[in-house]
Structure 1
Amino acid sequence: MSHDDGLCSIGELAERAGVTVKAVRFYSDNGLLPEAARSAGGHRRYGPDALDRLRMLRSLRALGLPVREVRRVLDEEEKNGAQDGAGSVLEDVVAGQLRELGSQLTALRWREAGMRLVLECPPGERADRLRLIGAVSTPPSTAPLARFWRAWLPPRMPARATAAFLEVAVPQPPENPDPAQVLAFARLNALVTRPCTGAERPQPEAHKAAGPRGPAVLYAGLAQAYELAGTQLRRGHGPYAGEELDCFVDAYASAYGSRDTPAFRSALAGQLAVDPRIDRYWELVTGVITAPGSPPEPTAGTAHDWLLAALDTQAVAAAG
């Protein structure tokens, strides 16, 4: 019912906006929908602007925005005027909600794939699968993998060099995994979090690079060599002595302050042949990052093996 003063009751406002009286009361009580006045009987009265504001409130809440974020958007709209609208704050709020929804959707997809993994495996394996999956957060965190590598890498590695290597060594979990990828990541998580003594994880001789800059020089060069070798792996090319191997050897020579000579290459091949390996890690990484039905994606581990095979072949040929 209209009034001569241009104000409307809470029931009239709710009907025009298509919401419940309870919703209007909630917004008013939380300061999101100011009242223009109160009637002689103490009933809420709303001005002409209330309908547009209430419709905006309904739209923002329909997007799932929490009340605190809705308040930010409306405060900016009120501050800047209707012409500008709720610009930058609305963009920030919606972008934040999209990130949160993306995380929630990823978590749901991982839970779904995990359930399928348990459902489809033989009954005798279910207890082990449940134990592995239960140790992984959803969405999965790569923090345990990063901690594993920080313990493996040389202690003098600069933070920037360490971060660059972690980008290569730590796989990003797929947003929409299949059960096999969930199992590979769960096993990878179990591998890096199991108790391990120093004797079980000896440091390679490569970590004894000379000088304070040695480790950073070494791993920067290795990252470049692994990228080059990965290209050849994707093309299906076998190991050979080329630019990739030169880059690989140069990384060690530069870190050690040595020259790249046939003798150095022969010694390096012997050293790398006996260095400790973490093949299981790279095998599981391949399982995590390779989409079902696709060729295996190269990893730093498979690239290292390709380069080492090329080095060994060259060393054998030189010795013969």
Structure 2
Amino acid sequence: MPDGRWSIGELAARAGATVKTVRFYSDRGLLPEAGRSAGGHRRYGPEALERLGLIRSLRGLGLPVTEVARVLDPEEDVPGRTLEDAVAGQLREVGSQLTALRWRDAALRLVGDSPPGERAERLRLVGAVASPPSTASLARFWRRWLPPRLPARVVAEVVDHAVPPPPDDPTPAEVLAFARLHALVSGPCTGGVPCQPTAHRSDGGYRASVVYEGLPEAYALAASELLARRSPGPGPALDCFVAVYAAACGERSTPAFRRRLGGQLAADPRIDLYWQQAAVLFGPSAPTPGAAHDWLCAALDAETERVGAA
């Protein structure tokens, strides 16, 4: 044009875009107009060409139009919505999509490689879990299973140690383990026995908060023994474990108390299925609290038998 301004068609041609595309962004206020012709048609200057290129680059990265508008017009932006934040947000979204695809891939391989007799059951299990999966059902299970009136800090620590994080790039075995965990925690307590151990019941005389505040130290000591492949037996881990229960009961860690504690722990309902599947997700380098508890109970039984035989 003689005045150096372009029509919408000329701008589209220079940008390698369609007129429809230019009009779309212009109608949403993303392209500045340099004025109007005598007939009322839009006219654009060189800055519109540069702006259109930036818009198309941002859209090519997957940013929605509303996000593009915030990046282009910082004076209308909300706090924290810079270009860097928009790109970081898009990276998180892409990462979540990739994780979902890897879970779907592993789930499909699991079902495809399953023996014919197990295929339908495994399909039902993995079909009940989203991709990528959420740990919300596992966290809810532990909040229901733990005794009431525990300090919120203690509950958060237990949930953090008991709920395995879903791997970003799972194997078919890990997909199956997570699906089994989800099915387990979503079902009711069964078997005709109480669903919770003695330490959770008010008639047992235990102070549950003392138990759950002290067990992590005992479990950490037992985990070291497990990693060293030591057989269950006496030592600091067992002493710490018994001392926690003795403090919760207001008693001393005598041989008689240890014998009684061993019998109570042996009679308690167990959630071994949970810990078996969780171990697949935690991996061999991180013994689960369930494995540590089993080691400590076995150590207590071994000590009781040795003392009784002496």
Q: Same fold (TM over 0.5)?
A: yes
Deviations 1:196-252 (A, max 9, x none): 359444321122479999322211211222223223322323323222223222322
How does 1:43-122 map onto structure 2 within 5 Å? 43-76=41-74, 89-122=82-115
Question: Mind listing any 5+ residue stretches in structure 2 that lack a counterpart?
Answer: none
2:125 — aligned with what? 132
Equivalent of 2:18 in 17, 20, 26:
20
Q: 8 Å contact 2:199–2:206 — kept in the other structure?
A: no
Could you tell me how far apart the structure 1 residues matched to 2:9 and 2:137 are? 56
1:167 — aligned with what? 160
1:305 — aligned with what? 294
Q: 8 Å contact 1:168–1:223 — kept in the other structure?
A: no
Could you tell me how far apart the structure 2 residues matched to 1:42 and 1:25 are? 14
Question: Mind listing any 5+ residue stretches in structure 1 that lack a counterpart?
Answer: 81-85
Could you tell me how far apart the structure 2 residues matched to 1:70 and 1:200 are? 59
User: Is the partner of 1:269 in helix, strand or coil?
Assistant: helix
Corresponding letter in the other structure for 2:19 = V
Structure-1-length-normalised TM-score = 0.86
- Segment drifting more, 174-183 vs 38-47: 38-47
Equivalent residues, number:
308
Could you tell me how far apart the structure 2 residues matched to 1:52 and 1:67 are? 17
Shift of 1:103: 1.8
1:38 — aligned with what? 36
Corresponding letter in the other structure for 2:36 = R
Could you tell me how far apart the structure 1 residues matched to 2:119 and 2:250 are? 53
- Segment drifting more, 92-101 vs 191-200: 191-200
The change in CA–CA distance for 1:37 and 1:248 in structure 2 (over 3 A counts) is same
The change in CA–CA distance for 1:47 and 1:250 in structure 2 (over 3 A counts) is farther
Shift of 1:153: 0.9
Shift of 1:166: 0.6
Q: 8 Å contact 2:71–2:82 — kept in the other structure?
A: yes
User: Is the partner of 2:43 in helix, strand or coil?
Assistant: strand
**Identity score, percent:** 63
Could you tell me how far apart the structure 2 residues matched to 1:251 and 1:100 are? 45
1:83 — aligned with what? none
Could you tell me how far apart the structure 1 residues matched to 2:296 and 2:107 are? 36
- Segment drifting more, 53-62 vs 277-286: 53-62
Could you tell me how far apart the structure 2 residues matched to 1:255 and 1:68 are? 57
- Segment drifting more, 190-199 vs 307-316: 190-199
The change in CA–CA distance for 1:153 and 1:5 in structure 2 (over 3 A counts) is same
2:263 — aligned with what? 270
Could you tell me how far apart the structure 1 residues matched to 2:191 and 2:137 are? 17
Could you tell me how far apart the structure 1 residues matched to 2:49 and 2:260 are? 81
Could you tell me how far apart the structure 1 residues matched to 2:127 and 2:84 are? 36
- Segment drifting more, 87-96 vs 296-305: 87-96
Could you tell me how far apart the structure 1 residues matched to 2:245 and 2:63 are? 54
How does 1:156-235 map onto structure 2 within 5 Å? 156-196=149-189, 199-208=192-201, 214-235=207-228
2:303 — aligned with what? 314
How does 1:139-154 map onto structure 2 within 5 Å? 139-154=132-147
Corresponding letter in the other structure for 2:208 = P
1:259 — aligned with what? 252
Corresponding letter in the other structure for 1:118 = V
Corresponding letter in the other structure for 1:29 = D
Deviations 1:109-156 (A, max 9, x none): 111111111111122222111111111112112122122222211012
The change in CA–CA distance for 1:79 and 1:133 in structure 2 (over 3 A counts) is closer
User: Is the partner of 1:8 in helix, strand or coil?
Assistant: coil
Could you tell me how far apart the structure 1 residues matched to 2:276 and 2:305 are? 27
The change in CA–CA distance for 1:316 and 1:307 in structure 2 (over 3 A counts) is same
Q: 8 Å contact 2:206–2:249 — kept in the other structure?
A: no
The change in CA–CA distance for 1:247 and 1:96 in structure 2 (over 3 A counts) is farther
